[in-house]
Amino acid sequence: MTETWTPTAPGVLRLPSGRLVRGRGLRRPPAAGPLPQFGVYLLGRQPPSTDWEARWLRWPDFRLPADRALACELLRESWERAAAERVEIACGGGRGRTGTALACLAVLDGVPAGEAVAFVRAHYDRHAVETPWQRRYAERFADTARA
C-alpha cells in the first residue's frame, strides 16, 4: 500500500508516471494534512531538524547546487521514493530552487528536458524556475543524471 500525497493538496505536482511530489516554500507554514516521509531541503544553510527523514542540499538562493553529484543523487532518490512515499522538495520561497528540482524530477520521469520547466510551470507554479541558469540546469539535467 502506498502512502503518497493527495493529488489536489497544495503544492503537489503529479509527474507523468503518476508519482506525486510536494514542493513548498519553507518561509510559509506547511499545508494541513499528512507530514512528509522524506524531504530534500535546498538551502544555503542547514535547515532545522524535522520529524521525518530529510536531506540537506546546499543550494544558495537564486543559484545552483553547490555539489552537482549530490544533487543528482538526492533528486534520483526523491523520484524513486515518490513512487510509494510522501516526498517533499522545498527551499525558502518554493519557486526557484524547488521549481528547478521539480523540473529535474520531471526529466527523470520522462518529460523531455526542453519541456521540463514549462511542465513545472503549468502544473506546479507559473513562476517556478527563476533564473536563466536554473533553466539551463534543468534542461541539461538528463546529461548530468547519466554521468
| Per-residue pLDDT, 111 | 97
CA distances from 103 to 49, 79, 96, 125 (A): 26, 11, 10, 11
CATH number of the domain located at residue range(s) 16-146 in this protein: 3.90.190.10
The domain locations on the chain are: 16-146
Average pLDDT, the chain: 95
| Per-residue pLDDT, 147 | 57
| Per-residue pLDDT, 15 | 98
End-to-end CA distance of the chain, in Å?
33
| Per-residue pLDDT, 1 | 45
| Per-residue pLDDT, 104 | 98
Return averaged pLDDT per consecutive 10 residues of the chain, 147 residues in all: 85 98 94 94 95 97 95 98 98 98 98 97 97 96 78
Helices (H) and strands (E) in the chain, counts: 5, 5
109 within 8 A of 15, measured Cβ to Cβ: yes
| Per-residue pLDDT, 13 | 98
